[in-house]
Chains A and B, each alone.
Chain A
Amino acid sequence: DAGVIQSPRHEVTEMGQEVTLRCKPISGHNSLFWYRQTMMRGLELLIYFNNNVPIDDSGMPEDRFSAKMPNASFSTLKIQPSEPRDSAVYFCASSTGLAGLGEQFFGPGTRLTVL
C-alpha cells in the first residue's frame, strides 16, 4: 500500500498566485482530512470529507480557501489568491472511521511558501 499521496511536496509561489494541493487517500478509506501545521498555531483541521461529502469546513480560514473531493480517490485544496501568512505545511489524511474516530493515516505533507 502506497499510503496517502500528496503533491507537490514543496511549493514556492508569489503572493496573489493560485495554489492547488492534491491528495490521493488510501484505497477503501471513506474519510479524508486536510490539516495545516504552523509553529504558531500547531496542527489545525481545515476540512474533512466523509464519502466524498464535506462534513465540517469550520476550520477553513476564509473564502480564499476551497476544497473539493470529486471522487473517492482524489481531493484538492485550493488557495486563491495566496498570501504570505498561508505559508505552512499542509497535510492530507485518510481513515476508515467516522471523522476523527480511530487511526488517521497522514500523507507526507506539502510545504507551501508564499513570498
Chain B
Amino acid sequence: GQQVMQIPQYQHVQEGEDFTTYCNSSTTLSNIQWYKQRPGGHPVFLIQLVKSGEVKKQKRLTFQFGEAKKNSSLHITATQTTDVGTYFCSHSGGSNYKLTFGKGTLLTVNP
C-alpha cells in the first residue's frame, strides 16, 4: 500500500509552545485520518480529511490536507501536558481500502 512518512519522529516542547507534525506521501491520497495514542493506551480517532486544501479545527488542534492531497499536518497551539502522546496519520487506499498508519510523532511536554 501507499506509504506515509511522518516527521518529526519525536518532539519535546515546553508547555505553552506550539507543536506541528507532518505526514507526507509521494502519491496522491484519497483521505487522511489522524489518531492520538496516550502512553500505554490505544489509538483514538481525532479527525478525517478528504478534500483538497481542507482545514478543520478542534479547539487548539488544527488539521490541514494539502492542495495536492500528498501531505497533511496537525498543529497544536499552546501545548498542555494533556497533549502528551503519539500522533499518527493514516490513510485508506487501494482496491480493499486498506488502512496504513505512519510511524507516528511522539510528543512530550515539559510542564
Contact = CB atoms under 8 A, between A and B. Distances in A.
Tell me, yes or no, whether A binds B: yes
Interface of A: 33, 42-45, 48, 55-56, 58, 91, 93, 98-109
A99 B99 contact: yes
Contacts, number: 56
Interface of B: 31, 33, 41-45, 48, 88, 90-92, 96-104
B42 A106 contact: yes
Contact of B42 (A91, A101, A102): A91
Closest 9 CB pairs of A and B: A100-B99, A100-B92, A99-B97, A106-B42, A103-B45, A56-B96, A43-B101, A42-B103, A106-B43
Contacts of B41: 108
16 contacts: A42-B101, A45-B100, A55-B96, A56-B96, A56-B98, A58-B98, A91-B42, A93-B43, A99-B98, A99-B99, A100-B92, A100-B97, A101-B48, A104-B45, A105-B45, A109-B42
B98 A100 contact: yes
B45 A101 contact: no
B77 to A, nearest CB: 24
